[in-house]
Amino acid sequence: TVPCVRLLNATHQIGCQSSISGDTGVIHVLESEADLEWPLSKGPNPPYMVLLESSLFTKSIMMKMKNASSRVAGVVVVQKTSPPEFSPHTTCPNENTGVYTETYDHNLAHCNTTVWNPRGNGLSYEEFDSPVFSLKEDNETEVIKQCYFDHNRVVNGSGLQYPLCAMQLFSHMHAVTDTATCMRRSSMDFSTSPVMVCDPLGGYNVCAFIRPYNSTAFGHKENESVVIAAARLDSRAFFLEDSTGAEGSVSGFVTLLAAAQALREATQEAPPTRNILFAFFHGEVFDYIGSSRMVYDMKNNMFVIDLDNVHSILEIGQVKTLRSGTNLFLHSDPVSRRNNTVTNLVKNLQSSTAGLNFSLVETDFSQPLPPSSFQRLLRARAIPGIVLADHQTDINNRYYESFYDNAAHLNLTYPSNLSPEEQLEFVTDTAKSLTEVATAVARALFKQAGGNNSQVNKINADPKTVTQMLYGFLVRSNNSWFQAVMAPELKDILHTLTSIKKVLGSSLRCVFCLSEPNPPQYYVGVAKSSHQANALTYLVQYLLANLTGTATNLTQSQCKKPDELPNESTYLYSYLWVQGVVPPNSTQRESFCVRTAVRLVKAVSPAFDLGDYISKEYSTWTKSQWKFIKARIFLVASRDLEMLTLGVGVAVLFTSLLVTYFVRTKADVLFSSVREPNNAAY
Amino acid sequence: MTASVFFGCTFIAFGPAIALFLFTIARDPLRVIFLIAGAFFWLCSLLLSSLVWFITVQISNKESSSQQKGLLIFGVVLSVLLQETCRFGYYKLLKKANEGLLMLSAEETMPISIRQLAYVSGLGFGFMSGAFSMVNILADSVGPGTIGIHGDSQHYFLSSAFMTMAIVLLHMFWGVVFFDSCEKQHWWSLAVVVISHLLVSCLTFQNPQYVGSLVPTYIIVFLLGLWAFFCSGGSLRNLKLCLTCKDKDFLLANHRPR
């Protein structure tokens, strides 16, 4: 069961809320849009709990049910077939926190020239008063539908027979109104254990320099020039925990990971003049949490470089499968284009596709940048940069920021007779085309960083790595390669623990069911106070470490304290103990220590550090807390039977009181025939 | 179901018991004490029978359903026998206590007669038995749903309440008849009490055919009520006198100094 939860920002609350003792409604399975008449007006036993299939989960139906909230107690969406297109995101994503504000360029603000997500219906940003849950199509959903068919169907004109099958959903959210209110309420409790009502969203960015700097020396670095290669990690869906983001984010960061691996050899043999920073930003969907944090750190000397050190930026946006001959597009900012700083970068990129199956085309010069992390850097400083994407004008991802943006949408297909391990190794067409993109990106980065041109053609991305990453991120994350690159204490996060609390008729109970090894969650999650990131961040960190770092001979205890050794330094590198592969003839893993420049950088919106919860500058998204979330089905009896029971009870009580009184007053008479002489009578 | 079902079932199950307690027992502290002692004796019998039940269930084969059913029947029979044994034990204790009370008290007459004790102890047994039968069901009835999703009858709460009312009344009647037959050494009537208790308990094996278990039970309640009425000094003549309101003449005629 995946609930829709409440999120708050500086001005609004979005998402769903149930009442504190749950919302009960008679189950009604919606068959078509016209069938909506029954729960909304015709049905005789409101409130109803509407069960609909994913193809009926549209904005018009949800809005109609939202307006009739007295008759509709809640909605349950069963994931079945995907509709032809569906995007619950807004039409202009991150409208107010990008670079296109009124002051920057009036014509480009608020998507005046290009509406980036025209299919967007904004459902994710609506507020619902009733709970909305999502169920997979499995045995428990069958039980619910069977209960409906057994008890709730109208039999040819005659009315419904009680008892009816009903469902109760609990998803009471503690936070209300907006972030400022809930943060104020969280801090009002003066006891030793403060009660938090909401949590800020956030996580960690993954950063790696090709030539690492001393991690304790913050601020400007003299004579250092860095090219930033960026991608975003997160995505979202209407039901936050169901986010997949295959085209939206996975394609981008997998390409960048492959490019990082491709650059490893060349940059070690012939290091380029400029440094390259691989930055994977988290929380970008929610008003650029990760990138705004990095810019804030750079401006306030809390990061190893600052904005003056940044030479240019190349961001990998959505890159979908290419059939041979299709193009990718280079987006740039029209305002900063006016002084021609981007042309070099464009030249480097376009020349990097020589010998590959696609070409890079520049978009129209008057078109603004699509929603991307580059916008936040541009907002702080006019840095030249390019965003690489598969769409020329608006986003052509039919399932942008929705649950259906998954492996199937990326045409990730495997032959049916392969085992999971064979599927891991199989190179799909998608992987092949992403490999070409990664090669082009790596070469362009090398050239942009001033590398030796003769080395460029040796830079090639590895299709096997790409296909393994795609498999792990989109199909099954508990595979042998991911297990090999992870640390031993983290290997369990590759199973997605779903806590499904379902009480069916108070006899079946399933708490913390270990589901099959699913892909990890792509939603950014809340920023935990302990130094714990979510599964996706750790995966990207360890993958990047394995792909760009070096294996060392250190033992496990040395790996924990490498400073004692003469050639190792934790200022420059981080040392990670990874599990390694299992050799064919044994059962023990060959674990080893990786020396890598990869670091996790905290990515929480600066608004929470500054205490400015109504900030228009930074992201203010928080997620409400709740006590428990559960769903259950049972039968409800008719009101008449309940009242009859009460009536009978009261009648019995009255009658017995009367009779007893009567017997007591007449007891002398009633029990007088056998009297023993020395007994006291009643 | 909801609060209305909760209160309805509570009143049905415990209505007569509450009425009897309020009007006949609550005023006299001695009767209250004996009521609670009676309830305690019933609890003792429940403890013993549940101990035996627990042990036998642990050593039995949990998979075989016929063995479990047999075990259930055995448990019911054993529990009934233990309850009646405890009733007998309580009777013996009360006889001894009565002699002691007589020696201690200043008055010449006993403060409470054995017949009253029979009634009070029976009611105590009934209270506790009803409580254990009904309280869990009442707690579940407060929720929003009702029985039936697995196909069972939805009249479970109502029929449990009526059955509990019958059991409470029956315990009261059994108490009266039991003590009376012990006083008069009529062992056959004692056997009838035990057999009727067994019969009522075994009738519940017919559930969920609630009609099949409730109707015979109420017939037995009526019959035993009549018997208890006659045992405790009632007669048809008295009843007719009361009902036709000629009792005042009767009292005056039979007035005796107290």
Q: Note the pLDDT tens digit of each residue in A102-127.
A: 888 888 888 888 899 999 999 999 99
Interface test with B, best of A170, A507, A646 (most B CBs within 10 A): A646
- Return the higher-pLDDT residue of A676 and B151: B151
Residue A146's closest chain B neighbor by CA? Answer: B149
A677 CB within 8 Å of a chain B CB: no
State how far residue B1 is from chain A, nearest Cα, in angstroms.
Answer: 7
State if pTM tops 0.95. Answer: no
Q: Read off the pLDDT of each residue in A374-400 and give the average, rounded to a whole number.
A: 90
Q: What would the DSSP string read from start to end of A515-552?
A: ---PPPP-S--B--SSS---HHHHHHHHHHHHHHSEEE
Does residue A109 contact residue A102 with C-beta atoms inside 8 Å?
Answer: yes
Q: Write down the pLDDT at residue A676.
A: 41
Residue A652 has its nearest CB partner, among B5, B11, B237, at: B11
A229 and A279 Cβ atoms separated by less than 8 Å? yes
Q: Write out the two tokens for A516.
A: 């099959």
List the one residue out of B226, B231, B251, B232 whose CA is nearest residue B241: B251
In whole angstroms, how large is the CA radius of gyration of chain B? Answer: 21
Q: What gap in Å lies between CA B220 and CA B195, rounded to an integer? A: 11
**Using CB atoms within 10 A of its CB, is residue A380 exposed (0-12), middle (13-18) or buried (19+)?**
middle
Q: Which residue has the higher pLDDT, A276 or A351?
A: A276
Residue range A223-240: average pLDDT?
Answer: 92
Q: How would you classify the pairing of strands A513-514 and A497-498? A: antiparallel
In percent, the amount of chain A with pLDDT more than 90 equals: 44
pLDDT by residue (tens digit) across A169-210? 999 999 999 999 988 888 766 667 777 888 999 999 999 999
With beta carbons less than 8 A apart as the criterion, state whether A14 and A129 touch. Answer: no
pLDDT number for residue A501: 29
Distance from CA of B195 to the nearest CA of A (A): 26
Question: What is the identity of the amino acid at A658?
Answer: L
Q: What is the pLDDT of residue A503?
A: 30
* Cα–chain center distance at A327: 29
For residues A6 and A175, the answer to whether their CB atoms sit within 8 Å is yes
Strands A502-504, A508-510: pairing kind: antiparallel
Q: Which residue of B has its CA nearest to A679?
A: B113
Q: What pLDDT sits at residue A252?
A: 93
- Tell me if A64 sits within 8 A of A8, measured CB to CB: no
In chain A, the percentage of residues whose pLDDT exceeds 70 is 92
Write the single-letter amino acid at B114: I
Tell me the nearest-neighbour CA distance from B89 into chain A, angstroms: 23
B240 pLDDT band (50/70/90 cuts)?
confident
pLDDT at B162: 94
Question: What are the tens digits of pLDDT across the range A511-540?
Answer: 333 344 456 778 888 887 777 778 889 999
The pLDDT score that the predictor gives to residue A586 is 84
Higher pLDDT, A682 or A366: A366
- Nearest residue on chain A to B237, alpha-carbon basis: A670
pLDDT at A497 over 50: no
Q: Output b/e per residue, A619-638; b: 16+ Cβ within 10 A.
A: bbbbbbbbeebbbbbbbbbb
- Nearest CA to CA, how far is A665 from chain B (Å)? 10
What do you get for the CA distance between the two ends of chain A, in Å? 65
> Which tokens hold the place of A578?
């990874």
Tell whether A673 lies on the interface with B, counting CB pairs under 8 A.
Answer: yes
**Does the beta-carbon distance from B15 to A646 stay under 8 Å?**
no
What 3-state class would DSSP assign to A33? coil
B22/A660 CB distance under 8 A: yes
At A679, the pLDDT band (50, 70, 90 cuts) reads very low
Interface size A-B, in CB pairs within 8 Å, comes to 144
Contact B113 A676 (CB under 8 A): yes
* Minimum Cα–Cα distance from A645: chain B residue: B8
Contact A657 B23 (CB under 8 A): yes
Candidate from B1, B149, B233 with C-beta closest to A633: B149
Q: How far apart are the first and last CA of chain B?
A: 53
Name the average pLDDT for chain B. 87
Q: Does A648 touch chain B (CB under 8 A)?
A: yes
Is a pLDDT exceeding 50 seen at residue A424? yes
Q: Which of A12-16, A206-210, A501-505 has the lowest mean pLDDT?
A: A501-505
Q: What is the pLDDT of residue B255?
A: 56
What CA–CA distance (Å, rounded) separates A421 from A539? 19
Q: What are phi and psi for residue A622, nearest 5 degrees?
A: -135, 160
A650, A669, A680 ranked by CB distance to B238: nearest: A669
Q: In this structure, what token pair is assigned to residue A37?
A: 């008449």
Return the closest-CA partner of residue A312 out of A448, A441, A208, A443: A448
Q: Tokens for A651, please give them.
A: 């009648």
| Model confidence band, residue B21 (pLDDT cutoffs 50, 70, 90) | very high
Pick A669's closest partner by Cβ from B2, B12, B250.
Answer: B250
Assess contact for A378 and A98: CB atoms under 8 A. no
Q: Are A540 and A233 spatial neighbours (Cβ–Cβ below 8 Å)?
A: yes
Identify which of A138, A235, A234, A243 has the alpha carbon closest to the alpha carbon of residue A515.
Answer: A138
Under 8 Å CB-to-CB from A594, ≥6 apart: which residues? A545, A546, A549, A550, A551, A552, A575, A576, A577, A578
- For residue A627, the surrounding DSSP H or E stretch is strand A626-636
Give the C-alpha distances (Å, rounded to integers) separating A442 from A226, A246, A263, A349, A389.
15, 21, 6, 9, 16
Average of per-residue pLDDT across A625-630 = 90
For chain A, positions 161-180, list CB contacts with chain B under 8 A: 163, 165-166, 168
Nearest CA in chain B to A634: B145
Rg of chain A over Cα atoms, rounded to whole angstroms, equals 31
Check residues A589 and B46 and name the one with the higher pLDDT: B46
Distance from CA of A62 to the nearest CA of B (A): 26
CB contact under 8 A, B233 and A505: no
Best B149, B154, B184 residue to mutate vs chain A (most A CBs within 10 Å): B149
Q: Decide if A149 touches B, using CB distance below 8 A.
A: no
Tokens at A388, concatenated: 């690489």
| Residue of chain B whose alpha carbon sits nearest to that of A632 | B145
Structure tokens at A70: 């007295």
A640–chain B Cβ distance below 8 A for any pair: no
- pLDDT tens for each residue of B78-110: 999 999 999 999 999 988 888 777 777 766 677
The predicted pLDDT at position A506 comes to 29
Mean pLDDT of A449-457: 84
Assess contact for A270 and A447: CB atoms under 8 A: no
| A338/B72: higher pLDDT | B72
Question: Measured between CB atoms, does A514 come within 8 Å of chain B?
Answer: no
In single-letter form, the type of residue at position A505 comes to: G
| Side chain identity at residue A542, one-letter code | Y
Cβ–Cβ gap A645/B4 under 8 Å: yes
My answer on whether omega of the bond before A371 falls inside 30° of 0, hence cis, is: no
A503 touches chain B (CB under 8 A): no
pLDDT in tens, B198-212: 999 999 888 778 888
pLDDT of residue A607: 93
Mean pLDDT of chain A: 86
* Cβ <8 Å between A24 and B150: no
Interface ipTM above 0.85 = yes
Is pLDDT at A467 greater than 90 in this prediction?
yes
User: What is the least distance, in Å, from the CA of B47 to any CA of chain A?
Assistant: 27
* A275, A209 Cβ separation under 8 angstroms: yes
How much is the average pLDDT of A2-31?
92
The minimum CA-CA distance between A526 and chain B, rounded to whole Å, is 34
Q: Please check the confidence at residue A498 and state whether its pLDDT lies above 50.
A: no
Hey, what are A135's tokens? Answer: 């169920």
* Distance (Å) from the alpha carbon of B170 to chain A's nearest alpha carbon: 15
Supply the pLDDT for residue A14: 94
pLDDT in tens, A41-96: 888 888 899 999 988 999 999 999 999 889 999 999 998 888 898 999 999 999 88
Residue contact A671–B2, C-beta within 8 A: no
- Which of A283-292, A373-382, A663-672 is least confident? A663-672
Task: Give every CB contact of residue A439 below 8 A, 6+ residues apart in sequence.
Answer: A259, A262, A352, A356, A459, A460, A461
Q: How far is A682 from chain B (nearest CA, A)?
A: 8
Question: Can you tell me the distance from the alpha carbon of A151 to that of A505, in angstroms, rounded to the nearest whole number?
Answer: 15
Give the closest residue to A242 by CA, choosing from A58, A1, A74, A75.
A1
Work out the number of other CB atoms within 10 angstroms of the CB of residue A490: 16
With 0-12 / 13-18 / 19 or more C-beta atoms within 10 angstroms meaning exposed / middle / buried, residue B256 is exposed
Task: Enumerate the H helices of A211-284 as residue ranges.
Answer: 251-269
Q: Where are the alpha helices (DSSP H) in A237-358?
A: 251-269, 289-299, 334-337, 343-352
Residue B161 confidence (pLDDT) above 50: yes
Q: Which of A310-314, A416-420, B123-127, B213-217 has the lowest mean pLDDT?
A: A416-420
